[in-house]
A and B are shown apart, each in its own frame.
Chain A
Amino acid sequence: MGVDLPYKLSAIAELTGHEDRAWNVAWNPVKPLLATCSADKTVRLYGYSGIPTPTFSFHTSISTDHGKTVRSIAWSPSGETLATASFDSTIGIWQQKGAQDEDEEVTAGEWQCASLLEGHETECKSVAWSASGTLLASCSRDKTVWVWEVQPDCDFECLGVLMEHTQDVKSVAWHPSEEILASASYDDTIKLYLDDPSDDWFCFETLKGHTSTVWSLAWAPGGRYLASASDDCTVRIWKRVAEHQWECVCVLEGHERTIYSVSWGMTTTKRVSEEGGEPLGWLASAGGDGRINIWQLEEAPNSTVNSPPKYELISCIENGHGDSDINSIVWCPRAGYQDLLATVGDDGMAKVWKIEVA
């Protein structure tokens, strides 16, 4: 597989240590830190350095106070705060003790729970910070999405409880620049929400098309497109066709079991096609078949408001985590490292991949 594809993925780090299934991985957007979380109730942090191919080393482990699986993690845009979503139905907010070094070095202070957000009735499945870092969203098997406002001293005020889905809410994701929230559910739909300045948060659109659970969402870096990954083994691309309207413009196939994760990155090593359409970045997907797919997307020349982007599978690797499912795949957002991908799997391992011209 993949012999004819123009790019190849090479594993540059295999990070062990979790004692159970690893569910989620998150790159710190500012500092050289990678975080993973697991059914073993811990979060592990790894540091890295070196260009162009960094080496990774274990930094620290946060035992967390969560009583059950830590299902997902998210760094605040400042890189100072980590949020954890747990099956114990709480959201943890974590900060490092002590002052931060000026030169972006990772300090040695211990990570402490600065706040514990209660309110969800059952397992929390996902947590996400808005682009400005002033809002936090969480979702749960209790079918709700909560929007929290971040206040000084790690205080969080609930601004709204959105009860739109008819089943578990699997994932939440904020638009990269606007305060638009998306949620994906076991009810096979995606919902989009906005804040009504004179009233509450409300759902302004329901995206239907997937034929089974929607597990993961990824906004395109420019925010015009949204990608969704599903148990129906497809990735759908939704395009903004009006101010508050998105439409499915293409369906990507290439997985044989549930797709658990999708990530949309903006790489610096852009491959320009002959037509030279506007690059839309690279989309990575992974799931129960252990396969990692990388698609390049670009705006079609002469594109219209609802024309699909051009897409091309540029890299593919089988059995990324051996026999294990891959539960999360994420592009590194930091300048100079945008050709790196992190994955975690049922084997409890985190892997870092570098994508290069084959």
Chain B
Amino acid sequence: MDYNPNPIIVNPGTTWTRRKTQKERHSLWLSEEGDDSIDADDNEVELIDGDEVFDLIRSISDPEHRSMTLEQLAVVSAPQITVSNQKNHVMVEFTPTVPHCGMSTVIGLSIRVRLLRSLPNRFKVDIKVKPGSHTSEHAVNKQLNDKERVAAALENNAITEVLETCLESAGRRGRPADI
């Protein structure tokens, strides 16, 4: 079923940052090739900002339009990310392409899994749809921030297959696919 057959595509930013290779990070799910997660030495707290969080999620593929990234569809953007290093808190707001988007939960889950795998453990992450951008805003937000629901979803093979497909491109961090 198509939720939005003709999405608006935006030009992705022309700059991207590439962090120096970090040591492989233990992940509950899997370790990625050429792991590019944000991680610090064990005894050093590394400060991160919204641009870095954006870099981690900008190249996740849209579950409905697989050839496009969340950045290209303007689902995620740097100004919609708030980071507090002091409170160890990250808030990611995303904008579904249409208000009835049935894929919003999958998009939110893909952002959550990406950040679970990449951010230092000290960060608590909240994920919400942009206020007014979805007809079931409250229900989507509640589900995405209920960790028991998220944990159960990640034990469901059908869901994890979709998530893994969306996350395959996440490591590009804004670079075009052909690099």
Residues on A lying within 8 angstroms of B by beta carbon are 20-21, 39, 68-69, 71, 87, 122-123, 125, 141, 168, 170, 186, 212-213, 231, 257-258, 288, 323-325
Name B122's closest neighbour in chain A (CB-CB): A323
Bound Cα distance A231, B144 (Å):
13
**Other A-B pairs beyond A141-B149, A141-B152, 12, CB < 8 Å:** A69-B151, A69-B155, A87-B155, A122-B152, A123-B152, A168-B148, A170-B148, A213-B142, A288-B124, A288-B147, A324-B121, A325-B147
Q: Which residues of A contact B147 (CB under 8 A)?
A: 258, 288, 325
Q: How far is the CA of A170 from the CA of B152 in the complex (A)?
A: 13
- Interface bracket on B: 10 to 19
- A212 CB to closest chain B CB, in angstroms? 7
State whether A257 touches B121 (Cβ < 8 A): no
A-B contact count (CB 8 A): 36
In the complex, what's the smallest C-beta–C-beta distance from B159 to chain A, in angstroms? 13
Q: Is B33 an interface residue (CB 8 A)?
A: no
Query: Which residue of B121, B124, B146 contacts A186 across the interface (Cβ within 8 Å)?
Result: B146
A68 touches B155 (CB 8 A): yes
Q: In the complex, which residues 108-164 of chain B have their Cβ closer than 8 Å to any Cβ of chain A? A: 121-122, 124, 142, 146-149, 151-152, 155
Report the minimal beta-carbon distance from B130 to chain A, rounded to whole angstroms.
20
Give the shortest distance, in Å, between B165 (CB) and chain A (any CB): 22
In the complex, B22 has a CB within 8 A of chain A: no
Cβ–Cβ < 8 Å partners of A258 in chain B: 147
Q: How far is the CB of B149 from chain A (nearest CB, A)?
A: 7
4 interchain residue pairs of minimum CB distance = A323-B122, A323-B121, A68-B155, A123-B152
In angstroms, how far is the closest chain A Cβ from the Cβ of B118? 15
Query: Is the CB of B28 closer than 8 A to any CB of chain A?
Result: yes
Shortest C-beta distance, B21 to chain A (Å), equals 24
Specify which chain A residues have a CB less than 8 angstroms from the CB of B155 in the assembled complex. 68-69, 87
A123 to B153, CA, bound (A): 10
The answer to whether B88 touches A186 (Cβ under 8 A) is: no
A323 touches B88 (CB 8 A): yes
Q: A354 CA to B147 CA in the complex, in Å? A: 29
Which chain A residue lies CB-closest to B88? A323
Q: Which of B28, B142, B152 contacts A87 (CB 8 A)?
A: B152
Q: Which of B1-54 contact A (CB under 8 A)?
A: 28
Q: Which residue of B lies closest to A68 (CB)?
A: B155
- Assembled-state Cα–Cα distance A122/B152 (Å): 10
